[in-house]
Every structure is written in structure tokens, then in C-alpha cells.
Amino acid sequence: MSVRDFAPAAAVSRIGQRRQVVIPKAVFEALQLREGDFVEMTVERGRVAMRPKRLVDIDDVLTSREVAKVRQGEAQLKAGRSKPWRAVKRELGR
């Protein structure tokens, strides 16, 4: 199920003492959120918009050289020029 395919009914939440808002269950499930997830909040035409976000550690980002290798590998896969890992291990003598 895609988030776009699901339009939950309107729900009302109350803002708590520390500006906390409870996300209604239907919205929470439609966005496939879990406890501890991050969300991005923006204001769009006088409304609050919320979307799930994932934080990425700076060490987890590929270098341009690594990106080139991944793209090369994807091109080989699309062209049918790939080998099973077993064959590669045999070639390496492992």
C-alpha cells in the first residue's frame, strides 16, 4: 500500500503543554511510521505538512568513485554481464 493510495479521514489532535501533538493512528499507519522515526514539518499555505524523514550519517554517503562503481555494476546487470558470487569467489581462490 502506498502512502498516496490511503487518505485517512480527518482527525483532531490537541496541542499539549510542550507543543506536542499526537499523530492519529490512521495517519500514523498510513505513513508507515514507527516509534522513534523522524518527520519533517513544514508550513504550506497556512497548513502544517508532515513527511517521514530518514537521517543519514555522513559516513554512509558514497564517494563519487563508489557511485561510479555502483552505476557500472548496474549497467552490467542490465546488460546480462554478471556472474554469481560463487564464480567470483572461485576466481579469487576463496
Q: Residue 63: its pLDDT value, please?
A: 87
| Cα 44 from Cα 47, distance rounded (Å) | 5
| Strands in the chain per DSSP E | 38-44, 47-53
* pTM over the 0.95 mark: no
Please report the pLDDT score of residue 10 as a whole number.
Answer: 75
| Domain extent listing, the chain | 3-53, 58-92
Q: What is the pLDDT of residues 21-43, one digit of tens each?
A: 999 998 899 888 999 999 999 99
Q: Do 55 and 38 contact (CB within 8 A), yes or no?
A: yes
**How far does CA 18 lie from the centroid of its chain?**
28
CATH of domain 3-53: 2.10.260.10
